[in-house]
Structure 1
Amino acid sequence: MLPGASDIGRLTSPDAFLWAVGIEDTFITAPHRGTGRTLDEYELTDHYGRWREDIGLMAQLGAPCARYGVPWHRIQPAPNVWQWDFVDAALERMLSLKIDPIVDLVHYGLPAWIDQAFLNPDYPHYVAEYATRLAERFRGRVRWYTPLNEPRITAWYCGRLGWWPPYQRSWRGFVALMLAICQGIVETVRALRRVDPEITPFHVDATDVFETDDPALAAEAARRQELVFLALDLISGRVNPGHALWNWLRSNGADEKRLESFAREPLELPIIGVNLYPIFTKKRILRDHEGRLRIRMPYASGDLVEKIGHMYFERYGVPLMISETADKGSVERRLEWLRRSVAAVGALRAQGIPMIGYTWWPMFALVTWAYRQGLRPLHDHLLQMGLWDLDPDPKRRLARIETPLVDAYRGLVSGGAAAVGRLATAEASVDRLRAG
């Protein structure tokens, strides 16, 4: 079983390492205006129909744990209605196969009945009640929970881009969403710990590395980089008048008392999950020929993983885990990223950076988010990033097709910590922090 909160330190022993997988679980329940489409990845990839088979594929890998999202919108389709059949069956199957679930409570979307989504004043209460009820059902058997996956991306799509409810389209909207989301995370963790003090909150966010070649954009790049850490900084009480974003947050509508409330009762960060992809994570800021700000995403080299490992450990000083990574395209390209990223994890461990786990995500192909806004058929939106492909032939009903990545990943899992090398001594980690 995954260690509880009082024993999380054993993951930093030299020979401990967690290999994991996960199934893409984006749930956007609001129909897109103009298409009527929603984005429930479990529905679109037929996981609701194939959950038993898909969890069996997890077991074939031998991974000791898996990130697994639970669909709140199906569990609680109305305020006073609770339907546990799917979640109970899926989590029980994982446990019976000796796979520890790392339960993903909120993955972007909320039940449709929560008016104004994250900006509903009762959202923190709703999410805490939901977390409480689920944790009570699996008390003592499920120890790790992700309160909300990728708070910054959630705030971006809901508050700045306006693609998802509540459809805000400004920096003030982003800040309002970020504060509401983080308050929900705080209330969720408190609720989980009331049920079982041994529950470990696994805080997961998307990480980006912002760069620019334009000196005039250096300050913007620095601000964007600070935004990458904002959710973790808020919930752990690091945002105060000396914080790099304090004045920016205040100028974009953040109430001083509300900001101070996070610092008064900060959450511990027992372990941080970083989501990184060579196709998405590196961001280059520039201006186009008309002077408009643009962000490009050049393909990242292997040093991306090491750079991010140093960034997070030097800032927070806690164990880290790659909670999502993969590449898209050919099997050869995916295998190469697997090799390079695992080697980078090994390099970090040799330097005393406690990178204690690795998750290939998604286990099989996902449906691109553009599906919700688009009109093309489902199979045109498959993004092959997995260990298994989803058959793109509509007549094959998304059959799971094993690729050579399955054997490669199974080999890594069977090697345990030896596949990435021993973690250097705690003293090396302390020395690294002092040097930083």
Structure 2
Amino acid sequence: MTSLPLRPQASRLTAPQAFWWSTGIEDTFITEPWPSTGRTLDEYELTGHYERWAEDLSLAAALGVKTIRYGIPWHRVEPARGQWDWDFPDKTLGRLLDLGIDPIVDLVHYGLPRWLHGAYLNPDYPERVAEYASGLAGRFQGRIFWYTPLNEPRITAWYCGRLGWWPPFRRGWSGFIAVMMAIARGIVRTVQALQAVDPEILAVHVDATDLYETPDPALAGEGERRQEIVFLSLDLVSGRVNREHPLWAWLLHHGAGESDLAWFQENAIDLPFIGLNLYPMFTKKRLQREARGRLRIRQPYAPGDLVAQLGRLYHARYKSPLFVSETASIGSVAKRQRWMDDSIAAVKILRTEGIPMVGYTWWPMFDMVAWAYRQGTRNPANYVAPMGLWDLDPVTLDRTPTPLVGSYQACVAGGISAVGLLKTG
């Protein structure tokens, strides 16, 4: 089986024959301009997807995939509070269904509508995002059963609350935790709203995965804490953060309230699927001290075994079905091909170990524009990141197929044989 069932059940997708191949189109939406450049970051606009959506969805169909992670621009669907324009999701999601491709709908990918003042820290955010999710799910009730409430909660909290680059522009660990708590509450309310529309809807929780290491014994404790932070959003929404949690005291020290943490235990949601976003050039983190004592985090390029390490780590902690929800390498076609081969081989190893790795997503389907564009001053063509199956012409925005297209088509056509049966019993 290479496609999702019409009415998906977790038990069916953890059976030995279960596996799906997927792809996706980069859909970062940051609607607030960078002060010194005036630039926003709308990947659909920068890559021409708003105009070429029909062509792009046909490219996905040509891969043979029966699943795609696909993002909806909330800021366009609801350009002003309570003013709804469902034209884009109606056309795009409807077309995917016509093509026989089941969308895993990405509801929020970092950015929010600008009218939501204070962004994630607006006290109405959880209810507003739940209202939006409910409206979209209602339009596709009985046809779409897969939704990601919010892509990469930890990265969102990092850029919005720790670095202060994205709204609401908070800084430090207290800002990180404030944004993370708000995001997590919004995820819970979104899942509740989706299941109120249709109890058969399953949430696909997708977050960035980091794997920390350090050669310095003095930094071992910091490395362990950073690793726990990687799991924080999943632990919060599933009600795992209690007094015995390794981050309990740290959370309280940086502004979390005991009553807020108790709310998550009282409103805990299931984790039917966990999506792992991992990249060989970003995911491995090495902690070390510089000569002057400053903590530095390096990102060495990781081997394909990274996938196996993370799969084992997440399975041991959550026991949920897992899938690679984003992966690619940046660079030459040959480099991308090596990563495809190595990462898929690692997925196969996990399945032989009995770890329910049930899917693989090459992301992005075609090249994206690097996030540095928003804060940069050069022409957008200078920020194109070569990561796709198709290359993106930096001037015309034409999608040019690389040999990776044929490689991925072969994997998809091979179905389960490319990754083997899941060991059970």
Bucket of the pairwise TM-score, normalised by the shorter protein: over 0.9
C-alpha spacing 1:203/1:4, structure 2 compared with 1 (3 Å)? farther
One of 22, 47, 50 as aligned partner of 1:48: 50
Partner of 1:222: 224
Trace 1:245-284 onto structure 2 (pairs within 5 A). Answer: 245-284=247-286
The 2-side partners of 1:234 and 1:8 are apart by: 22
What residue in structure 2 maps to residue 413 of structure 1? 412
Q: Which amino acid aligns with 1:411?
A: A
Equivalent runs, 1:327-338 vs 2, <5 Å:
327-338=329-340
Q: Name 2:399's counterpart in structure 1.
A: 400
Structure 1 window deviating more from structure 2 (261-270 vs 249-258): it is 261-270
> Which residues of structure 1 form unaligned runs of 5+?
428-436
Letter in 1 for 2:253: S
Q: Which residue of 1 aligns with 2:11?
A: 9
Give the conservation status (yes or no) of the 8 Å contact 1:2–1:143.
no
Contact 1:15/1:418, CA 8 A, preserved across alignment: no
The residue aligned with 1:78 is: 80
Q: What is the rounded CA distance, in whole Å, between the counterparts of 1:414 and 1:209 in structure 2?
A: 32
Contact 1:200 1:270 in 2 (8 A): yes
- What TM-score results when the alignment is normalised by the length of structure 2? 0.98
1:197 has 2:196 as partner: no
- Tell me how far apart the structure 1 counterparts of residues 173 and 7 of structure 2 sit (CA, whole Å): 36
SS at match of 2:23: strand
Q: After TM superposition, give the deviation of residue 265 of structure 1 in Å.
A: 2.1
Query: What is the match of residue 183 of structure 2?
Result: 181
User: Paired residue for 2:112, among 93, 110, 121?
Assistant: 110
Are residue 372 (structure 1) and residue 365 (structure 2) matched? no
SS in 2 for 1:321: strand
Question: What is the CA–CA distance in structure 1 between the aligned matches of 2:8 and 2:416, rounded to whole Å?
Answer: 22
- Displaced runs of 4 or more, over 4 A: 3-6
- Residue 151 of structure 2 corresponds to 149
SS class of match (1:163)? coil
Which one-letter code corresponds to 1:297 in the other structure? Q
- Counterpart-to-counterpart distance in 1, 2:329 and 2:127: 37
Deviation of the 1:4 alpha carbon: 7.1
Q: Contact between 2:10 and 2:272, CA under 8 Å: does it hold in 1?
A: yes
In 1, distance between residues paired with 2:82 and 2:21?
Answer: 38
Residue aligning to 1:240: 242
Deviations 1:372-426 (A, max 9, x none): 000000000000100000013x2xx11100000000000000111111111001x
Alpha-carbon separation, structure 2, partners of 1:378 and 1:274: 29
Asked whether the 8 Å contact 1:75–1:83 carries over to 2, the reply is yes
Please say if residues 284 and 301 of structure 2, whose CA atoms lie closer than 8 Å, have aligned partners that are also in contact: yes
Gapped regions of structure 2 (runs ≥ 5): none
Selected match of 1:310 from 294, 309, 312: 312
Matched residue count: 423
Alignment deviations for residues 151-192 of structure 1 (CA, whole Å, 9 cap, x no partner): 000000000000000000110000000000000000000000
State how far apart, in whole Å, the 1-side matches of 2:274 and 2:6 are.
15
Query: Which residue matches 2:393?
Result: 391
CA distance in 2: counterparts of 1:11 and 1:243, whole angstroms? 30
Question: Are the equivalent residues in 1 in contact too, given 2:164–2:170 (CA < 8 A)?
Answer: yes
**Hey, what does 1:433 align to over in structure 2?**
none
The normalised TM-score by structure 1 is 0.96
| Shift in CA distance, 4/119, structure 1 to aligned 2, threshold 3 Å | farther
User: Matched residues in 2 for 1:6 and 1:322: separation?
Assistant: 18
Instruction: Indicate yes or no: 2:139 matched with 1:137.
Output: yes
Is residue 21–residue 361 contact of structure 1 (8 Å, CA) maintained in 2? yes
C-alpha displacement of 1:2: 3.0
How far apart are residue 310 of structure 1 and its match? 0.3
Return the alpha-carbon distance in structure 2 between the equivalents of residues 408 and 262 of structure 1.
43
- Aligned-pair distance for 1:6? 6.8
Partner residue in 2 for 1:94: 96
Q: What displacement does 1:3 show?
A: 4.2
Question: 1:430 corresponds to which residue?
Answer: none
Cα contact 2:4–2:20 (8 A) shared by 1:
no
CA distance in 2, matches of 1:284, 1:4: 43
Report the Cα distance in structure 2 between the residues aligned to 1:58 and 1:44, rounded to whole angstroms.
19
**What is the rounded CA distance, in whole Å, between the counterparts of 1:211 and 1:173 in structure 2?**
25
SS of the residue aligned with 2:265?
Answer: helix
Identity %: 62
Across the aligned residues of Structure 1 and Structure 2, the Cα RMSD in angstroms comes to 0.9
Instruction: Tell me by how many angstroms 1:5 deviates.
Output: 7.5
SS at match of 1:202: strand
For 2:355, which of 349, 353, 356 is the aligned residue?
Answer: 353
Rounded Cα–Cα distance in structure 2 between residues aligned with 1:303 and 1:16: 22
Does the aligned pair in 2 maintain the 1:55–1:94 contact within 8 Å? yes
- Residues 8 and 145 in structure 2, CA contact (< 8 A), matched pair in contact too: no
C-alpha displacement of 1:261: 0.8
Report the Cα distance in structure 1 between the residues aligned to 2:294 and 2:172, rounded to whole angstroms: 16
Quickly say closer, same or farther: Cα 1:97–1:382, change in 2 above 3 A: same
Aligned 1:156-175 pairs, distance under 5 A: 156-175=158-177
Deviates more, 1:53-62 or 1:7-16: 7-16
Question: Aligned letter for 1:243?
Answer: H
